[in-house]
Structures are given as structure tokens and as C-alpha cells.
Structure 1
Amino acid sequence: MTLRQKLLLVALCTLALPVAGWLYVRQMETLLREGQAQALVASARAMARSLVVVDAPLPPAGPAWYLQHTPVPITIDGYGDDWAPLSPWAQTFGSNAKVMLAEDEHWVYFSVEVRAPRRRRADAGDRLALSADHLIVSIASGEDAQRYLLASAAPGPTTAIALDADAGVLPDRINAQWQEDGSGFRVEFRLPRGLRLDHFGLGVHVAADGDTEPLSAETRPLIDFSPSLSQELGRLAPDGVRVRMLSPDAWLVAQSGKLDLPDLPASERPGWFASLVYRSLLATRFDAQSPWAEDVPRVDLPEVREALRGKPATAWRAGEARGSVVLAVAMPVQMRGRLHGVVLLEQPSRAVPLLANRALFGLLLTSFAVLLVAGGVLLLFATRLTIRLRRLRNAAERAQANDGRLDGPFPLTEAGDELGDLARSFARLFEAVGGYTDYLRTLASKLSHELNTPLAIVKSSLDNLDHAGLPAEAEPYLARARDGVARLGALVRAMSEASRMERAIAAAEAEDVNLADIVRGCAEGYRALAGGRRLEVELPPSAVFMHVSPELIAQALDKLFDNALSFTPPDGWMRIALRPTPEGADIELANQGPPLPAAMQGRLFDSLVSLRDKATPGDAPHLGLGLYVVRLVAERHQGSASARNLADGVAFTLHLRGLPRQRLA
């Protein structure tokens, strides 16, 4: 990662400012919501108490039958077509029955659907038919009450007969329709609304279930939408709030107000983007969408269910209008320790989204401006710093390319900051390195030149002594002197040879070759030179292609083999191995022989270093250039050379990474 990228990353850290601001705005939005919710909860609690104090016509405690309003009369035919609009709010009864009750201006309609796969019809002559499938219907109006038995021997019209004595205004029989299908039966009937029924009871008795009380019925009060209670809610409701009164079964019994928002100027109304930002980034979690805004007879919402358990509850939902929210508060209404229903207050608002959006957009604009300024300043600083560092790098590369000698003055030495200090330190370092490099570069040629003349004088003097007729006892000393002169001459030639080899290796050209072919070819040539020694070759199963100089690799292998051959016993073993590596390849030449001295392992690949015996008179002196050449070849291929001791021998390894490819200008 470059300095520009790093400083750009630092500049992006300023994004912490808008993030912190965004978290602050979210917290502010939460606090605004909590304040609004607390105020509406207080209003709901006051309204619930007021309804009890003013003795409002609250719904009865406990379960009740709810009468839905039907805009058109229902035909009593035993089929459910006319009941389809009301069927989503059918009231369950027991485990196998559904009940629907409806009213219009003249009639109260009843529909009972029973699931009974196994049927038992009544006998035509059986008046009570208690052993067959039947219904027990109970109705009450004030002090009058009556029970009826409904059974049928076949689908079609039937009559519910009274079971009790004469009950005032209540009829002694009810005409009904009985229809059947494969899953059970349906019964429909109606009663005049003028009877002013206030209770309705029902008993479903299926003979296959083994009912032991064929005349029993469960009676519940009848409730419907109450205009008088709605007027009472209207007097108590706060402005701009819709109030709904729900029964203990969550049936809507009264309502006042609408979800109307105050008109705002067009310039202040939130657009679609502002609404999207609020809902996506600012608004805390909204409750799941539900038909909360529809005119439905039963309001089954999570907050209502919580309030029916005796605990106040709140909920936030997205409003129907763009950029609005709705706060709902459900408060239980209790009287004498019994739950008589729930008062549900719903308040629409645009204030919270507007305030949160304005705060967020202002913060984003400020943060964006700060980010642009900070990013621009850091970018300029990074650019200038990068240019200065690049000048230092270019100067260092020029020094390296010119063998430590710097072309021209070192840059930035006049700067007063830390880069100036670094530049001056580099300048002093390169000056010292350049002088030492010049000294080392000319040392070998100077020594060889200076030593040639004394060596020639010593050699000519020895030749003259040989012709002068020395006594016999002086001959050994003369031979030793000649041997020493030969060794000194060899050293002088070696220094010159090392300088020439470095230049030759540096100028070697590379090509893409298979290293396995090079190693295999060299090994085949070494077998004739190994004599009685066993030579093993280990090559990978696939080709190992690298960009190398084949001549240099072969020359390095020759030096390693020559070194190993001189230390391996006549019946010993030698091994050449090629192993691919993630960076390139390793060529190892191991041999049986004496271990390497611990003190010499770090100097084995230096020039003019040899472990062979140098004290044997008459032998040609070993110059110690073989392993030095191996090191130069490895470094030329961006690698290194190493040596290690084995259990019964020594292993030398050539680590290769390949020559760099030359770029065409």
C-alpha cells in the first residue's frame, strides 16, 4: 500500500464524524419517540379512568358474541354465499364450530357451521331428536329467555322448537335452513331486531362425539358497535388522535376521530428520498405491517393482545402518508378488578421524521465538507511526501547502479525536516560506501601489479642462485623458495581471475530452460569422472522451467562436483538432486566425506578460502575460487548458496529464483 493510499485511509477515518452524528441522530429520534409515547400513554390512562368514572356503556367483561353490520339483507338458505364478506371474522365455538352473527335495520342473522364427518340425522317422527346431531339455541331479551332445539332429518327447511315454557315476547319456534356437505352441516336462521336480544347461547351436539348433555348451551352477551360509546370517546379524545374501544375479545365497539395529518406547505413535505432515508437509516424498528389502518370489526394487534393481558403497550408503525409515522397505545380498561376492554389511541405524526431528517441532512452536509477539505489537504501532503521520497529512492538506486558511486549531489540535504535529516545521513553513508567501494574495486589490481615486480625479482634471484653452483645441502631450501614463489604467483593470478569472473557472471545472458535437462546432462558427464564412487541423481517427475543462464548453472555444478569429488572416498557415494520450490528451485549436491568445521561454515563461499591441505610440497596450490563462483552464480539468479553437514557427509545447495527478465525499451 502506497503512502497516498495510507493517507487516504487516514482521511477516511474522518467518516467517524458522520457515523457518530448518525448514531446521535438515531438516539435523538428514539428520545423523541419515547417522549411522544409517554405523553400518549398518559392520555390513554386518563381516558380509561374517565370511561369508568362517567359510567360509560362499556362492553361486558368476558367473552361475548359480536354482531357485525351487513349492508345488504342475508338470504336464509343454508349456504354461505351471503356470508362471504363477513367470514374472515367468524367466531370459533368449541373445537368444531364457527358462528357468524350479523344485523341490519330489521333482522338479526345467525349462521352456525359445524364440522362433523360422521353424521346422524333425526328421525322424522322423533320430536326432540336428542340422539341425533342437533343444536341448542338460547336467546334472551331482558328478563325473558328461551331455549330451542334444532335438528333435521334431511337438508332443507327445519324448525327450532322451544324447550321452555312461554317466554313473553320471544317466539315459541324459529324457522331455519339446514344444509349438509361431506365435512359437516350449516344452519341459518334470523330473528326480528325488534326483539332487542341481549344474550345468545349455543350448544353443538354431535352424536358421534358421545355428548352426555344434549340440552346444554353456552350463553354469552351480544355486543355490537355502540354510537353512544363513540360519542363518549369523542368527548374525551385528544385532538388529532383516533380512539377505538375494543371488547375483551378485541371486537370494535366504538370509535372516534381519524388518522388525519395537519396540512404542511409543499416545501416542507418530505419527498420520497427523505422518507427512504428516514426509514432506512434513522427510524428504529417499526412493528410488522398489519391492517391497523383498515375499518375492520376485530383489531388483532400485538399491542392489543398485550393490553388484554392487563399491561399497557405501545407500537410504532409507518403511516399511510409519505414521511409519517403512527404511534399506537393500547390501555386496558378495568372496573372492579375485571377487564372490560381496551382503549386504543393512534396518533399520526410527521414531526419526528422531519426533525430527524433535517438533523441528519445538516450533519451529512457538514461532514461531507469537512471530509473534502481533510481529504484534499492529506492528498496534497501525500503527493508532496511521495515526490520527495521518490527522489531519495532514485538517488539510492543510482548509487546502487553505479557500484556505490552517486551521480550528482544527493537530494533534500538542505531540508530542515526529518526527510532532510534522513537525506544527509544517506549522503554521508554513500560517501563512505563510495570511497570504500573504490578502494576495494582497485585493491586486487593494485596488489597484483605491486606484487608482480617483487615476485619477478625473487624468481630471477632464485634462478641466478641455481646457476651459481650452491652446495648440495642448500638445494632443499632453494626448492622451498621456488614453491613459495609459485604459490604467491598463483594468488596474484587468482585475484585477477576473481575480478574477471565477477564481470563475466554479471554479463551472462538468460533463457527459459528446463533445469531438469541441465542437471541430467551434467550428471551424465560426471559419471565418467566419479570412478568407483556411486553417483545418484534425483529429478522431479515433471519439467522445472526457469529463466536462467544454462552456462552459469553448469559452471556452478562443475565447481560443486569438483569440490565433492576431492573429499569423497574412492568407494563413497555422491548425490545430485533437483527440487522445485515456491520461489524457484533448489539444486543439491551431497557427498560422503568429512564434516565441515563449524568455524568455517560461514566463510566457505568467500573468495580465496579453501579447506584442502596447502602444506603438501610440489602440489599445485588450490585458489579457493570454486565455492566463490557458486555463490556468485546463486546471487546472479537472485538466490543464495548454503552448506550443511549430513550424518555421514556434506550437502551443498544452490537456491535459485531465476534471472530477472530484461524489459524492452
Structure 2
Amino acid sequence: MADTSYRLTRRTMPWRLSHRILGVNLIILLVLALALLFLDSFRNQLRDERQAQTRNLAELAATAVPKITPADVPMLLGDIGNATGARVRLYGRDGNLRHDSWRGTVPSYVLRDPSTQRWTKEAARAIDRAFNFIVGERSLQDFAEPPVDRLQAWPEARQALRLGGTAATVRNAPDLTPVLSAAARTTGGEVVLVTANDRNFTRIVRQERTKLAAGLLAAALFSLLLSLFLARTIARPLRRLALAAHRVRLGRSREVNVPRFNRRKDEIGLLARAVSDMSQALRHRMDNLDAFAADVTHELKNPLASLRSAVDGLDRIEDPKLRGQLLDVVRQDVHRLDRLIGDIGEAARTDAELARVAFEPVDLGDLVGQICSGWEDRRLTGNVRIAFARPRAASAIVMAEPGRLARAVDNLIDNAVSFSPPAGLVEVAVTAVADEVRIRIDDEGPGVPQSAREAIFNRFVSVRPDSDDFGRHSGLGLAIARAIVKGHDGEIDVADRDDAPSGARFTIRLSAASIGVVEPA
């Protein structure tokens, strides 16, 4: 029967190689995606907070300016700028700059020139640009002080003046640090503009990015270890299998140890067990071929030696009677060789043909009935009778190749007839028992000794009386029958009859076909 030790399914392979490979590839990608999402979300949240602070600062200044005297406004704006690090400007109703927190004091921030900074800062800015590109961040406008500082030069100030409330925006300084600005209109129609170069924002974002980079490095190291694990669990076993297959191909040793990896329940284990079973089957077939070749050589030598001796004797013997006897020997030897060569070819073709043919539903009642009728009508059975117990129509259907299966049954009937005594009876019956169909062939011969019941199915083995016709049987009929039955996943055996004083009973057991009952035509 077919070996099912390596027939694995999804249920028996819960963690297949495809899962492992996909998992390794996805881990680093998943960690990278999560890191990018986290950093982008963190940056946006921090930017929103800083913008809100700048808006509040502009609203606070716009609320305080109308409540103090005009002389105190410069001091108020200067105090706000010094306390927050921002630049606070106040534009009058005419749009002209009235007060600036930087007048008469040190600027609260300085826009740095990137060309004067170290290369590490340029590298950090390159990483910033790459990150913005990956997450799809919109490009910000570059910040630059207007040549003429008037309200109309600031879009957010114009918006606050026109719509009221507060307007804010973010621009990039030359070194890609953010410049936050917010404008708010006072109750008197003036506009307060607050600008701040928040370098701390960029520093915090880059610090978080460094932490995430360290996490990604750890994930990459973990992925590398997983890759090494996969290499160990995939590449090394495959290399062992390839080496074993190479040794099998070279054929230098019949006993090549192909690893089976019985503990593995994945595709590697499936492949290993399949290759191991294949090599064992190949080794078994090679052994059978060697034994078959040796047996053929041995069996051909006997009739050839007899034939050569008879032919050599024809030249030396003048007696017509003796020459006639030698010619009879030659004829018998030729007949024996012809039968032997035919049976050898049949035995050699059996396995190969059964491996290629497509089985079909076969009613054994009809098939065996036709074989028995052929023996009765066309074959020389002497006075041996054949009785066939036909089963109920369409009750004994199997999946088979009808021609080959007919040959197996024919060989068994031939064997039974050859062992039957004069006027003997060969009984043939086909019965369906549970999920199998049985073909039984009984004869009235001497039976098969217990010690020879397995050996008679081997090639060139024949347990016959010495008085049997010379060359009548090659010793391959039962071997061919067993090969055909095995090719149909069936069994064949021999036992003594339990319903007669003597005789042998050959039984073929085949699986019944799993199809509906077919009505007879």
C-alpha cells in the first residue's frame, strides 16, 4: 500500500516555511512602518502644541495692548519677547510697524546660515527631508524677513486684520528649523504679530528619531538572527538532502542514508521523507533488477545447454530413432525458451505499464466470467472442468486496468488447471465482502506446502512434481500475477482448501470501487 508518512496538510503544518519567511520579512517592515507613523504623529502633535502656544501668545498681547497706555506698549512687547524667546511686533491701522520687541535689545533668536554649520547638521537635514518625503509631509514655505516690514508683507497678519481672530502659519528657516508665527487683531484695529524660531522643536524630534533608529537597529539585528535561523532550518537541511541525492545518483553505495527529519512538520520534513522513500524504492527496484537479471541468466542457461547438447549430438548419431528423440528435445527446448522469453518480457513490463495506465471501473463478475468461458471454449484443459460462481450483477466493481487484471486471473486459472488431476474440477468464484472484492480459485491438486507458500510467488520458482511436462511452465506466472495484484493495491495469498480433502485455494483481494451501483445494460 502507498506510504502516507509524508502526506502533510495545512493542519499538520501550522508553521510552514512560507509563514517563517513571510514573518521575517514583515517584522522589520512592520517595525519601520510603526516607527514612521509614531514619529510623524509625534511631530505633528508637538507642532500643533507649539502653534497653539504661539496663537495664545499673540491673543494675549492683542488683549493687553489696548488696556495699557501707548507709552507702556514697547515695554510690554519687550517683556513678552524676553520671557518667551519670540519677536513681537505691533502694526498700526495704516499697516506700518509701530513697535518691535527687538528695538533697543538683543534679538531673542538668530536664523542660522547652514553653510556655516558642521556636516553633521547637513546630514541631519538630509534625514529630515527623507523622512518628510516618506510620510508625505507637505513642503513649507521658506521664512525670510521682508525688505520693508509692513503688515501687508505678512499673509497671516492680513488674514487676522480682514477676518478678525487669530491666524497662524509655520515656515522653514534656512536650516530647516520651524519658524512659528501668529497674528491677532486688537480691539482698536491694530495687529500683533508674534514670530519664533523654535529650534527646540527640531531637537526634540531628532532625539525621538534617534531613539527610534536604535529600536530599528535592534529590530534589524533580530531580523538578522531570524534570517540565520531560517538559513539553519532551511539551507542546511536542503544541503544535506542534496548531498544524499548526489550520492544516490552516483550509485557508489546502495545504503545511502537520506535524512528523514521526522520531527519536522513543514515542507522540509515532507521533502526529506519523500526523498528518503524515493531512494528506498529506487534501491529496492535496483536490487530487484539485479536479482531478476541473475535469475534470467540462470534460467536461460539450462535450456540453452540442453539445446546445444542435442544439436551437437545430431551430427554424431545416425540412428533415425535416436535422431528423432534429439529433435524432440530440440523442439521442447525451443518451446521452453519461447515461453520463458515471453514470460520474462511480460514480467519486465508489468510494473512499468501499471505505473502509467489509468484505472477504470471493472465488473469482475463479467471479466472473470469471460476468462472462464475462454478456457472452456478455446484452451486445452484436457478433461479438467472449470466452474464459475457468478456474483450478482454490478456487485463486484473495482478500479482496475482490465487487461492486466485479466492476465493475473488467467495465470492463476492456468496454474490451477496444471495441478488438477484428470477429470478434476477448478472452482472460480467472485464475491463482495464489506468494502473489498475477492476472487477465489480452488483446485483439487496436492496443495502448496506451508513452507513454500511465499516462495511460489517469487520469479522462476515452481514447486511441481518431477513428472510434469518439461518446459511447460517458466515459474513466472504466479510472480506476474502477484505484481499485477500489488499494482492494483491488492493482496494475493494461497492456503489449503477447507471444503475438500486436498487442493489449493488462491485468493485475490481488491478494494471495491466507491461508485454507485451501475445498472446492467
Scaled by the length of structure 1, the TM-score of the pair is 0.37
The structure whose RCO (Cα within 8 Å, separation 6+) is larger is 2
Q: Which has the higher strand share?
A: 1
Q: Which has the higher helix share?
A: 2
Which is greater in Rg? 1
